[in-house]
Amino acid sequence: MNRSGWAVRVGSPERLEAYRKDTDALLAVTRPTPTVLPIGPPLLDPSAEAGRQSVAAILDDVASMHPHAVTSDKVTADLSLNGRHVERLPCLPSEVGRSDCVSGMIVVRTQAPAPDQGIHLCPSGLPAGSAAICPNYSAGEVRFSAALVAAIESASDTG
């Protein structure tokens, strides 16, 4: 929110500066605990993707000022194809045999007609009032979680 109480558009200079300050404040609180800042997966909408890239640059910049912090693009790598947004990825061995693993591929991002298509990882979308709990199996959330754990383990091994 800006001073007048109106929501500030995601990706706006004002919102990005607030994000920078909030991230810096978070890292000040977590010092000296090793902290991983994950770079999120690519987004479908070009303007949202530009905002995601701006946030990634902020995370890299702020982390560079805190020796206990690192960024990780493991989430990006594991939920994209060459850094580009994808809706489906190859099924993991644990997903083969599931009814939603079709021809060796599984949905990893929210699908149309959900209003959050291409943003979230819940295939059916996040229902209003759901507290961000996906009502069905989410291959995207499985990959996101595994990538985040791998990023944390990698940071722990090097730090």
Specify burial of residue 123 (Cβ count, 10 A radius: 0-12, 13-18, 19+). Answer: buried
The DSSP 8-state label assigned to residue 40 in this structure reads P
10 has a pLDDT exceeding 70: no
Could you tell me the pLDDT band of residue 159, with boundaries at 50, 70 and 90? low
Q: How does pLDDT run across 50-96, given as a tens digit for each residue?
A: 889 999 999 999 999 999 999 999 999 999 999 999 999 999 999 99
Inform me whether the pLDDT recorded for 127 exceeds 50: yes
**pLDDT for 5 beyond 50:** no
d(CA 85, CA 107): 12
pLDDT of residue 120 exceeding 80, the answer is: yes
24-63 pLDDT, tens digit per residue, is 999 999 988 889 999 999 999 888 898 899 999 999 999 9
Place of tokens 């560079």: 64
CA-CA distance, 13 to 96, in Å (whole number)?
A: 44
Question: Do the beta carbons of residue 139 and residue 128 sit within 8 Å?
Answer: no
* Confidence tier at 116 by pLDDT (50, 70, 90): confident
